Each structure stands twice: as structure tokens, then as C-alpha cells.
Chain A
Amino acid sequence: MSGNIPSQVEEILSTNRRGFLKTAGLLFVGMAAPDAPAADAPGPYPVVDPRKLDSWIVIHQNNTATFYVGKTDPGQGTGTGFRQLMADELDIAFDNTTCIMGSTDITVDQVGSGGSTAMERDSLPMRRVAAEARRVLLEMASARFGIPVDGLAVSEGVITVKADASKHVTYGELIGGQKFNVTLSGANAASVSGKAKTKTIPELKIAGKPMHRDDIPGKVDATTKWAVDVKLPGMVHARNVKPPYACAKLTGIDEASVKGLPGFIKVMNKGNYVAVVCEREEQAVKAARQLKTTWEKPATAPFPSSEDLFRYLRNAKPAAGTTPLQEGLVGNSEAAFANAAKTIEAEYEIPFQGHTAFGPAHATADPSNGQMTIYSNDMKTYGMRRGVATFLGMPQEAVRVVYMQGSQGFGRTAAEDAACEAAWIARELGRPVRMQWMRDEETAWDTKSPAFLVKMRGALDAKGNLAGYTYDALSCDYNHLGYNEPDTTLIAQLMGQRRAKPAAGSAATPSDMYAIPNRRMNGDVVALPAIWETPLRTGNLRDPNGPQAAFASESFIDEIAAALKADPVEFRLRLLEAGTGDDSGFRRARSIAVLKAAAQKYGWDARPSGKPRGAGKILTGRGIAYTFRGQSMVAQIAEVEVNRETGHVWTKRMVCAHDCGFVVNPESLRTSVECGMLHGLSRALHEEVRFNTEKVTSVDWVSHPTLRHADVPESMEIVIVNGDPHPDRPDLPLYGAGEACLKPTMAAVANAIYDATGVRIRRVPFRPERVLAALKAAGV
């Protein structure tokens, strides 16, 4: 590379954008796509055209391939999965491929990651373009040998004449370093297609095999260059100074309080947004702590305290202008209740839970050449590009986001704050700026998973059938952070920007296939008093709102089963098998299958839950919960030990039966499911955002605890159900797998605690003091 890009920048760009191929002990460096701007291009950065085959695939002279995809991989191995699928369609050895993701100037816009859509949806255009590249290469070979395409065979990037094996040519020899110059059909990245057909699932040979993830070696030998590692010539360090109280108004800045500090450059301020900039990082940390500012508290409390939250919600009305979510209306539930022999009611409470990213928000912005380059781990870099451009009033083509590895996504980096902050300061100063949030900022001010209050009712008829069912949820989700909608970022709100209407999030209804003759489900969004500039703003957290709904619905089904003295597995199967309606993914049959698979793997002891309590200090029990996300089915069993003297809950064993259709990489699926289950366990046992009426008081790992090594079950077993092409349903496609696995966990653990103790905990998390109080209240 050459030009006016300093060597440090070149290194960052090349390390993260060109991928390294380890083949036969040799190290090859892939080349940039012929159509993509060079890494050192000074800008502007036009959108990469998804209708050009060359935007997606480059074949190199050494017969290797580089894939360019518009996705990001926050650590679940999707990048390796894309390589498997594209190598399969292209017919090239997996080891001779590399995949470049997420940088907005060299990859097509496939939105980035989110919603567990990577394999299910966004791998489809990748497969189509790879199949098209194979077709074009076969035609080139056909022309070279003067033999029709059907007289040629292709394997691992080598095309051979079937009738004369001495005649062969590699992809690299055919096109290495040259453009395909093939235009694809389709309007956008999601719909592009060539003339070639993709392979059927059973024809895939690389996809379906367990593969080590390609990003892991660099993460254990410290060679991965992370977004936090970016260093640019002239770069300075910024730290925010957050309001000490939610919704406080800045009344004064005493710049003299930091002016003499070594390395001090400037206090940045607009509206209620304050940051300091220093030459060195530790200087910025110190200056941000030392800067004297004065603030005026809001006239009214921005929110109730976390202790009062559910009392507040019980009296709250749906927020103005929001539409209730009404789903799954069957029969007439009120008539069922009017005729009920017995009615069961329960309320469930799920508090705000934080994303609490392990690495607080960070981004580096470079304003060189009148452009703006952002180095970020944002999951949705393409949205970030638009968001930053809008926020700064720059043309989109002047902004690019270079995607780099970072701390986990889970939705937080789909709505990232630091980039707009770094970019604004960088433009104001005319120097590259590295913004890094501190721990207390991230825990207190990140986006939160909304609190839920769910009221459930069940009507039992005289025969003991569940004849009526209602679900009414209130979701505290009225100030949702939009995906890089700049006026919903914190800096924009602190600067005084206001949308005409808050970006209301959503409530959620349960995901199950239970056949209940009369059913009504309703979810409403409610608002806290403060809507803008609040640390209790919400954002999508891994399967947004699904775990809350599943905690209520799957706890409640367990309560009904217990009331009927029915075995919890048998009762769920009874409800599932009572129905005949289904959908294209035959969810009902697969729901039954995962329940049975989990029970079989666990060695389920069929009996009603709430077993006779032992006399000892440790009470044991097991609980099950089942749900789905999209077309991915999951059933989980938790076995717990409850210490009746301390209230401490240890989940000793977890079993998960998981069906996400065809599995591209069983190894990364298994690890992702395992980690997802533990994420669910962490939310069940530990996580709750605490606040008083002035501010969030959860500010670190003590005040917002998370799962730890000692909490890990002794045994975690995962059954991949229907993971291979089923002999009778080879077309069963790929479904998402990043989120479903944590959805039933809170309910499974609560159901296990009930089985062990006879005490129903309807409030998350099941911290020792809460469990102990419930045990004592019940006389356990």
C-alpha cells in the first residue's frame, strides 16, 4: 500500500481486512477485491454494489478465495459458518478461503448481525453468489477445453475434464486476480442471485461438519487486533463526564479544575454532554474524574426506585400513542373463566437487566481527509455509518466504519454510543479520537432489557382441563434505542435532540404451541416519568423480551400442572398434542420432539412437581421449560440445589434439547448454546439493575453481579435435535441459533426451585436473600 496513509493505519486496515490464509504451511495474504477501494483510499467511500459478483468473491492466483460479506461476528462463529457454506457452493477447500466481514467500504450492506438471522436468512445470498461464481468458472473452463460443462468435474477449486483427467485447470489459473465482471439480478443484498442453483442441503459437504472457528487462535495468542487496540498518528483520548443524576441539567463547568493537568487538551461540551480530551489515556481518566461540574436536579423524580418499580407498573397505563401487541387469540377466554371450576392467577416480575458489556463502549474516529473513519466493533456497522453521517451532517459516502473485534454484542453494539461521541469530538478537534467508556458508565448508562410485569390467569374446567388462558404483560420499554438512529443515542439526547415521539420498543407474548381452546395474549408498553437522557433507556438484549415472556408463561404452565397434580413434561405434551394446526416449520411436531429429547437425556422422573421436602439443609429439584424463537425450538431442564439456610441456588445440572434445523457447524452451535444457557442462568440468578429515584446505583460487577465460575453446573448436556439433514425432510433449512437457548432458562430454574422447595418464586433474579425470604415466608 502507499499514499498518505500512515503505517499504523495501514497495519490496522490490513490486519482486519485482508485475512490470512494458512495453507500447506505457507502464509498467503489475500488481496482486496478488485472493485473495492484500496484500504488506503482517502475517501469518499461509495456503497459497495451488491449486484456485482466481484463485490462478494475474489479468486486469487494461488487458487484461494476471499469472501466479502456484510455481516459481523461478535463471537458465535458465524464467520466460520459463512466460509463453510460459501466454500461448499464454490467447491473450494475450506482451508483455502477467508472471509472478510462488516467494513462498510469493502463489503456489501447486509445490515450486520442481529436477530439470529445470520445462517437462516443472510447466508442465502452468500450461497447464491458462490454458486454463481462456480458456474461462471465452469463456463470459462468449458471454453478453454472446448468441452461442454457437463463434461467437467470440479473439486476443491480444480476443474477436470471427466473424459481425460490429465486436462485440468484451477480457479486461480482461470481468473486469479481478475474480475468476474458478472452482474447479478435482484434489487439488494438480500435478493441478489445469479443463474446458478444452490446445492441442496444433503449436497453440502463442508457445511455440517464441526469446524474450529477461525477467529479463536488470534484471541488466545494476543495477535487479534481489537477495536480497542486502534492507534493512529496524533490520536488523543476522550472520556465522558456523565450527569451525576439522571436528567440533570448542566449549570457550570470549572475548566480551571483540570487546566493544569499534564496532557490536558480540552473540555468538550454541548448541552448536557461533557467530555474531556487529553493526550494520554490515563490523563483523560484523571481529568474526567477531576473536572468540577455543577448540575441541577430535575424537578420531579425521573423514575421510581427499583424497589418500587413493580408497584409503579401495577398502576401504570399503556404509554400514549403505543399499540398493544395482541397475538394468539383463540376462542373466548372470558367465557371460559365465567364457566371455570377453578381459576388460577399469578403475577411475574422481571426487573431491568443490563447488557453490561464486558468491554465498555469504545470507538476511535479519524477525521482525516475531510472524511470520517470509525473503528468499531458495532454489530450493525452499516447502520452506524448512516447514523454517524446523519449525526454529523456529513454525506454518507464521507463516512466509513471499519469493523473490528470487540466485547460481546447481544444487541448493545447494535445501538452503540461511543462512535457518535468519538466522531463529534474528532471533528471538533480535527484529530483522531479514541473514546472509551468507564465501567460505571457502561453499567449505569448502557441500554437495558426492559422490566416486565406479567399477569396470567388460567381457567380449569370441571374435568381438570386448561380451558382458558390469558397473558397480560406490561413492558417498560418506552425509550428504546434505535439501531444507530442518531437522535436516540445518548450524546444526541444530552445535546438536546428530541425525536417527535420516543422510539417505543415492544412488549412480547409467549412463544409456544400449546393448544388451549380459549386464549388471549396482550402486551402493552408503559413509560417511566423520564423519557429522554435517562439511564433506564432500553435496547435489544439477546432475544429481546423473549426471556421475560417465557419466564412468565412457562412458570405459569408449571403452576397449572402442579395444581392439577400432573407431571410437568406430560402436561406440556398433553397441551401440545391437543392441537393439529401448524406452520411451515412444523413447529408443533418439533416442539414435542425437543421436550421428549430433553426428558430422555435427563432421565426425567415423571411425577408432579413439588416433591416431598427432605429434612436436610440442601433441597433438590428439577424443572423444565420449553419455548421457541422463530423456527428454533428449545427445551431445557434445570436441576437445582437450594440451600434452605442461606437461600443460595446452585444449578447443578442443565440439559438442553435444541432444534435449529440444519446445523452448519455443530461445534460452534454447541458452544454457543452452552454459553447462551449460562447467560440465561446469569439472568435467572443474579442480574438486576438497581436504582433510587435519582440515579442508577448498579455501577460495577459488585452492584450488578453476573454469573461466575463457581455457578457453572457440574454437568451441561446438549442434544442437537434434528441437527443433520433428516432423511425424510432433507430440505429442512437453517434456522437461527444465537438466542433461543437462553429464552427458557429463567423459567426452568424457577420451576426447579418450586420442585425442590414447594415455593414458587415469581420475581427474577433468584438471589439468595429473595429465595430465603420466600422460603421463610412459606415456613420452609
Chain B
Amino acid sequence: MSRITLKVNGGAHTVDVDPATPLLYILRNDLNLQGPHFGCGLGQCGACTVIINGAAVRSCILPASAVKGEITTLEGLATNGKLHPLQQAWIDEQAPQCGFCQNGQIMTAKAMLDKNPHPTDAQIRESMNNTLCRCMSYNRIQAAIKRALEKPLGFQPPDTAERVVPLTHGAASGGSRASKKAVVA
């Protein structure tokens, strides 16, 4: 065990741990943070992502003793109670399903935008490609990133989804061909 001091979200915390302890466990269990999650412990999925010196880092495979620099977690993105534009865009796009991976998605996107404020669609896909989601909320996430960029959106927002009202009453008895008219709600 040894004493390690970590700078996290503007504060300093000293913990007495095995220096090989992955940063993730200290953030979660000693600092009681709920943003970074355990997903694989292998650096493959991104659930545990934090930002250190501007880079998105997988805290599940980073020994605490190897941390050099200030750590920002999902808890540290909002400023003065105001959500980071990415967090707001995530809400506006209703990006999460279960949400368990979204820490990694948001933190990876932030690190990407901090380096490249105007990514192309291809650059977004490439930068985000190793951050996984099993609910498959990828399309929403990409839309949220683009929304945060205030780029024109290449899709219709959910509340203007086209509706087609296809049926005549007679169809209830079956067999009749449905007539269809398009109605945009």
C-alpha cells in the first residue's frame, strides 16, 4: 500500500492503496464517483473513460501510480451548475437507452472536440469507434455530437417523425387493400 494523491475535478484526494490499483476502482470506491463505470477491465469498451491532460483515458487499465495530471470525470463537466453543451445535447437528442456506456461516450466526445472542434462525420465515427454501446444508441450519440457542434442536422428530430395513416375502417375485417396517405404530424 502507498499513499497516492489524485487531482480530480478541481480537488485533491489522497488515498492509501496498492499503487497498481486501476484508477477506476479508486474513483468509484474511494471518491464515490458514479460517472466512470466498469465495463470490461480491458480497455476495450470505454465505460470507464476519464480525461487526463486532454486525452480520453481508460481508467480500468491505468494504475493509479501512473496518473500524471489532473483528472476530469463526468461529474466535472458541468460548470457552475450548467451542463456542458455535450451533456445538454445528449438530453436534447435523448441519446441514452440504459445509459451505462454514456460516460464513455460523452467523455470520449469531449476529448475529441477539445482537440478538433469541427470534426467531419467520418472523424466523429473514427474517434468514437472504440467506445461501445450495447443498446446501440450510436446514431443518437452521433446526432448529439453534431447538435453540440451546432451543425445543421441531417435528420428529423423525433417529434416531427413522419406519420403515415394507412388504414380505412373496412380493413378491420381484413383483406381489403389499404389506401395510404401521408400525413406529417
Q: Which residues of A contact B (CB under 8 A)?
A: 74-76, 210, 212-213, 215-217, 219-226, 228-229, 231, 262, 280-283, 285, 356-360, 405-409, 436, 438-439, 577, 579-582, 586, 588-590, 592-593, 596-597, 600-601, 657, 666-668, 670-672, 674-679, 681-682, 700-702, 706-713, 715-716, 718-724, 726-729
Selected from B21, B44, B124, B175, the residue in CB contact (under 8 A) with A700 is B44
Report whether B125 and A710 are in contact in the complex, using a CB–CB cutoff of 8 Å: yes
Chain B residue numbers with a CB within 8 Å of A668 are 94
CB proximity of B43 to chain A, nearest CB, Å? 10
Q: Which residues of B contact A (CB under 8 A)?
A: 1, 17-18, 20-22, 25, 28-29, 32-35, 37-42, 44-45, 47, 73-75, 77-78, 83, 87, 90-91, 94-103, 106, 124-126, 128-142, 154-155, 158-159, 161-169, 171-178, 180, 182, 185
The CA of A597 and the CA of B94, in the complex, are separated in Å by 25
Report whether B171 and A589 are in contact in the complex, using a CB–CB cutoff of 8 Å: yes
CB proximity of A624 to chain B, nearest CB, Å? 16
Given A228-B37, A600-B180, A710-B129, A722-B165 contact (CB < 8 Å): yes
Chain B residue numbers with a CB within 8 Å of A406 are 98, 100
Selected from B133, B138, B155, B175, the residue in CB contact (under 8 A) with A580 is B175
Selected from B106, B138, B166, B180, the residue in CB contact (under 8 A) with A712 is B138
Report whether A219 and B45 are in contact in the complex, using a CB–CB cutoff of 8 Å: no
The CA of A228 and the CA of B180, in the complex, are separated in Å by 49
Most chain B beta-carbon neighbours within 10 Å: one of A439, A675, A711, A720: A675
Chain B residue numbers with a CB within 8 Å of A719 are 161-164
Selected from A282, A283, A722, the residue in CB contact (under 8 A) with B166 is A722
CB proximity of A506 to chain B, nearest CB, Å? 24
CB proximity of B9 to chain A, nearest CB, Å? 10
Chain A residue numbers with a CB within 8 Å of B45 are 358, 701
Report whether B74 and A221 are in contact in the complex, using a CB–CB cutoff of 8 Å: yes
Report whether A586 and B174 are in contact in the complex, using a CB–CB cutoff of 8 Å: yes
CB proximity of B130 to chain A, nearest CB, Å? 7
CB proximity of A286 to chain B, nearest CB, Å? 8
Selected from A220, A580, A674, the residue in CB contact (under 8 A) with B106 is A220
Chain B residue numbers with a CB within 8 Å of A710 are 125-126, 129
- If A593-B167, A666-B161, A678-B136 are given as contacts, then 18 extra A-B residue pairs at C-beta distance below 8 Å, sorted by A number, are A216-B94, A220-B106, A221-B83, A222-B103, A224-B99, A226-B100, A228-B38, A358-B134, A439-B39, A439-B41, A586-B172, A596-B166, A675-B97, A677-B136, A712-B138, A718-B161, A721-B164, A729-B169
Report whether A280 and B29 are in contact in the complex, using a CB–CB cutoff of 8 Å: yes
CB proximity of A84 to chain B, nearest CB, Å? 14
Chain B residue numbers with a CB within 8 Å of A589 are 167, 171-172, 174-176, 178
Chain B residue numbers with a CB within 8 Å of A582 are 173-175
Report whether B97 and A724 are in contact in the complex, using a CB–CB cutoff of 8 Å: no
Report whether B177 and A75 are in contact in the complex, using a CB–CB cutoff of 8 Å: no
Report whether B167 and A709 are in contact in the complex, using a CB–CB cutoff of 8 Å: no
Most chain B beta-carbon neighbours within 10 Å: one of A219, A675, A720, A729: A219
Most chain A beta-carbon neighbours within 10 Å: one of B91, B106, B141: B91
Report whether B94 and A675 are in contact in the complex, using a CB–CB cutoff of 8 Å: no
**A437: nearest chain-B partner, CB-CB:** B38
Report whether A709 and B142 are in contact in the complex, using a CB–CB cutoff of 8 Å: yes
Report whether B73 and A222 are in contact in the complex, using a CB–CB cutoff of 8 Å: yes
Report whether B172 and A212 are in contact in the complex, using a CB–CB cutoff of 8 Å: no
Report whether A220 and B87 are in contact in the complex, using a CB–CB cutoff of 8 Å: yes
**B140: nearest chain-A partner, CB-CB:** A671
Report whether B94 and A212 are in contact in the complex, using a CB–CB cutoff of 8 Å: yes
Report whether B99 and A358 are in contact in the complex, using a CB–CB cutoff of 8 Å: no
The CA of A577 and the CA of B100, in the complex, are separated in Å by 45
Report whether A359 and B38 are in contact in the complex, using a CB–CB cutoff of 8 Å: yes
The CA of A447 and the CA of B94, in the complex, are separated in Å by 29
Chain A residue numbers with a CB within 8 Å of B185 are 666, 724
Chain A residue numbers with a CB within 8 Å of B139 are 674-675, 678, 712-713, 716
Chain B residue numbers with a CB within 8 Å of A667 are 94, 158-159
The CA of A723 and the CA of B159, in the complex, are separated in Å by 12
The CA of A681 and the CA of B133, in the complex, are separated in Å by 13
CB proximity of B28 to chain A, nearest CB, Å? 8
CB proximity of A721 to chain B, nearest CB, Å? 5
Chain A residue numbers with a CB within 8 Å of B158 are 210, 666-667, 670-671
Chain A residue numbers with a CB within 8 Å of B124 are 709
Given A596-B178, A597-B164, A213-B94 contact (CB < 8 Å): yes
The CA of A405 and the CA of B106, in the complex, are separated in Å by 19
CB proximity of A151 to chain B, nearest CB, Å? 36
The CA of A666 and the CA of B160, in the complex, are separated in Å by 9
The CA of A438 and the CA of B42, in the complex, are separated in Å by 10
Given A229-B34, A589-B171, A670-B158, A707-B136 contact (CB < 8 Å): yes
Chain B residue numbers with a CB within 8 Å of A357 are 134
The CA of A363 and the CA of B174, in the complex, are separated in Å by 49
CB proximity of B135 to chain A, nearest CB, Å? 5
Q: Supply 10 A–B pairs (Cβ within 8 Å), ascending by A.
A: A220-B96, A262-B18, A280-B25, A405-B99, A586-B167, A586-B171, A682-B136, A708-B130, A711-B138, A716-B155
Chain B residue numbers with a CB within 8 Å of A723 are 161, 163
Chain B residue numbers with a CB within 8 Å of A712 are 125, 138-139, 142
Report whether A358 and B34 are in contact in the complex, using a CB–CB cutoff of 8 Å: no
Report whether B99 and A729 are in contact in the complex, using a CB–CB cutoff of 8 Å: no
CB proximity of B14 to chain A, nearest CB, Å? 16
Chain A residue numbers with a CB within 8 Å of B75 are 221-222
Chain A residue numbers with a CB within 8 Å of B138 are 678, 707-709, 711-712
The CA of A678 and the CA of B42, in the complex, are separated in Å by 24
Chain A residue numbers with a CB within 8 Å of B29 are 231, 280-281
The CA of A357 and the CA of B44, in the complex, are separated in Å by 14
The CA of A682 and the CA of B135, in the complex, are separated in Å by 10
Chain B residue numbers with a CB within 8 Å of A74 are 98
Given A210-B159, A675-B136, A707-B138, A439-B42 contact (CB < 8 Å): yes
Most chain A beta-carbon neighbours within 10 Å: one of B17, B77, B96: B96
**A226: nearest chain-B partner, CB-CB:** B34
CB proximity of A261 to chain B, nearest CB, Å? 10
The CA of A679 and the CA of B137, in the complex, are separated in Å by 9
Given A282-B21, A678-B138, A359-B96 contact (CB < 8 Å): no
The CA of A579 and the CA of B174, in the complex, are separated in Å by 8
Chain A residue numbers with a CB within 8 Å of B99 are 75, 215-216, 219-220, 224, 405
The CA of A726 and the CA of B38, in the complex, are separated in Å by 46
Chain A residue numbers with a CB within 8 Å of B167 are 586, 589-590, 593, 722, 726, 728-729
The CA of A338 and the CA of B45, in the complex, are separated in Å by 55
The CA of A133 and the CA of B69, in the complex, are separated in Å by 57
Selected from B28, B44, B47, B131, the residue in CB contact (under 8 A) with A359 is B47
Name the 5 nearest CB pairs between A and B, nearest first.
A582-B174, A75-B98, A219-B99, A678-B136, A593-B166
